[in-house]
Structure 1
Amino acid sequence: MNLALWIAAGLLGTLALAAGITKIFVPRQTLAAAHGGGWTGDASTAFVKGLGVLEVLAAAGLVLSAALDIAPVLVPVTAVCWILLMIGAMITHGRRGESALVALNLAYLALAVFIAWGRFGPESFTG
């Protein structure tokens, strides 16, 4: 179970890092033209960049906090925050009629639920 949780956190952390770096460094107009990025055309540049920064921080919270043994409780807390982020993403994509992206966000949400459940419960770093 511990290995599965590490793998899940690594996968979600990699996803968060890639998404965050993309939002931080790719111009908003370019993101808006990409598949699944149309929502960025309706958002401010500051919002998109801020979201990117939060995603990079989520990557650190999901992996580095436990790997470096610096506040490993941040792993499940970050997973809960990711769940909230994915709910927002699902609402946004749902309003835009992007059902395939809603399903993808649901998969990411499920991964975060698994991490939060596992790290708050049976494979907690505090026990």
Structure 2
Amino acid sequence: MNVTLWIAAGLLAAVALAGGFTKAFLPREKLAAAAGGEWTRDAPAGFLRTLGALELLAAFGLILPAVTGIAPVLVPVTALCWVLLMIGAMIAHLRYAGAARFVALNLIYLAVAAFVVWGRFGAVPFGA
């Protein structure tokens, strides 16, 4: 179970790193032209950069606290924040036609994050 939780957190961290990098550093026009990025056309640039920075922090928060042993409780806290972020992402994608596949993808990410929350807060906490 511990290995499965590490894999789940690692996959989420990779998703957060990729999404955070694109939102933080790519131009809004390029984001809006990508499939699933239609919502960025209506979002202020500052919001996109902030969201990207938060996703980058999430990528680190899902891995580094456990690896370093410094405040490993931040891993499930970060995963819980990711659950909330995915709820917001699903709402944002539902506002656009043809976004059902992105809502489904966000739902998968939400489920993986919920698994990490459940596992690290209850089933296999760090230090157990």
**Fold match, TM over 0.5?**
yes
What is the one-letter code of the residue matched to 1:73? V
What is the one-letter code of the residue matched to 1:107? I
Root-mean-square deviation (CA, aligned residues, Å) is 0.8
Q: d(CA) in 1 for partners of 2:95 and 2:40?
A: 14
Q: Which residue of 1 aligns with 2:88?
A: 88
Q: Which residue of 2 aligns with 1:101?
A: 102
Q: Which residue of 1 aligns with 2:124?
A: 123
What is the one-letter code of the residue matched to 2:32? A
CA shift, 1:126, in A, is 4.5
Q: d(CA) in 2 for partners of 1:69 and 1:42?
A: 41
Query: Is the Cα–Cα contact under 8 Å of residues 9 and 62 in structure 1 kept in the other structure?
Result: yes
Query: Is the Cα–Cα contact under 8 Å of residues 29 and 41 in structure 1 kept in the other structure?
Result: yes
1:28-53 Cα deviation digits (max 9, x unpaired): 11101111111110000000000000
Q: Which residue of 2 aligns with 1:114?
A: 115
In structure 1, runs of 5+ residues without a counterpart are none
Q: d(CA) in 2 for partners of 1:95 and 1:42?
A: 11
TM-score (norm 1): 0.97
What is the one-letter code of the residue matched to 1:26? L
Secondary structure of the corresponding residue to residue 71 of structure 1: coil
1:76-117 Cα deviation digits (max 9, x unpaired): 000000000000001111121311100000000000000000
CA shift, 1:68, in A, is 1.1
Task: Quote the sequence identity (%).
Answer: 62
In structure 2, runs of 5+ residues without a counterpart are none
